[in-house]
A = this chain, B = another copy of it.
Amino acid sequence: MRYPVDRLHRFVVAVFTALDVPPEHADITARRLLEADLRGRTGHGLIRVPQYVPRIEQGGINVRPDVVVRRSTPVSGLVDGDNGLGQVVMTAATDQAIEKAEASGMGWVGTMRSNHAGAAGVYTGMAVERDLIAIYMAVASANVMPPWGGQEAILGTNPISIAIPAGEEPAFQLDIATTMASHGTIKVLAQRGESMPEGWVQDREGNPITDPSRADQGFLVPIGGYKGSGLNMAIGILAGVLNDAAFGSDVIDHRAVPGAAANTGQAIFVMRPDLLRDLDAFKGDMDRQLRELRSTGARGAVHIPGEGLDRLEAEIRSEGLAVGDTLVGQLQALASRFGLDDDLAG
Contacts and interface: CB of A to CB of B under 8 A. Distances in A.
Interface stretch (A4-12, A43-51, A290-298): A290-298
Size class of the contact patch on chain A: 35 or more
Contacts of A228: 223-224
Given A76-B271, A108-B271, A151-B296, 10 more contacts: A75-B104, A110-B276, A149-B302, A150-B293, A154-B293, A172-B234, A178-B227, A224-B228, A226-B303, A237-B289
A213 B189 CA distance: 42
Interface string A259-280: 0000000000001010111000
Q: Which 3 A-B pairs have the closest CB atoms?
A: A223-B224, A150-B296, A150-B297
A285 B246 CA distance: 11
B275 A76 contact: yes
Q: What DSSP secondary structure best describes chain A's contact surface?
A: mixed
B303 A148 contact: yes
B71 A296 contact: no
Interface of A: 71, 73-76, 78, 104-106, 108, 110, 133, 146-152, 154, 160, 162, 164, 172, 174, 176-178, 180, 223-231, 233-234, 237-238, 241-244, 247-249, 271, 273, 275-277, 281-282, 285-286, 289, 292-293, 296-297, 301-305
Nearest to A164: B237
Contacts of A229: 303
B237 A286 contact: yes
A286 B244 CA distance: 10
A204 to B, nearest CB: 12
Given A75-B104, A234-B162, A150 B275 contact: no
6 contacts: A74-B105, A75-B105, A78-B275, A106-B106, A180-B224, A244-B281
A71 B276 contact: yes
Contact of A78 (B74, B110, B277): B277
Nearest to A75: B105
Given A233-B305, A244-B277, A296 B147 contact: yes
Contacts of A152: 296-297
A166 to B, nearest CB: 10
B106 A149 contact: no
A254 to B, nearest CB: 20
A161 to B, nearest CB: 10
Contacts of A277: 71, 78, 242-244
A78 B105 CA distance: 14
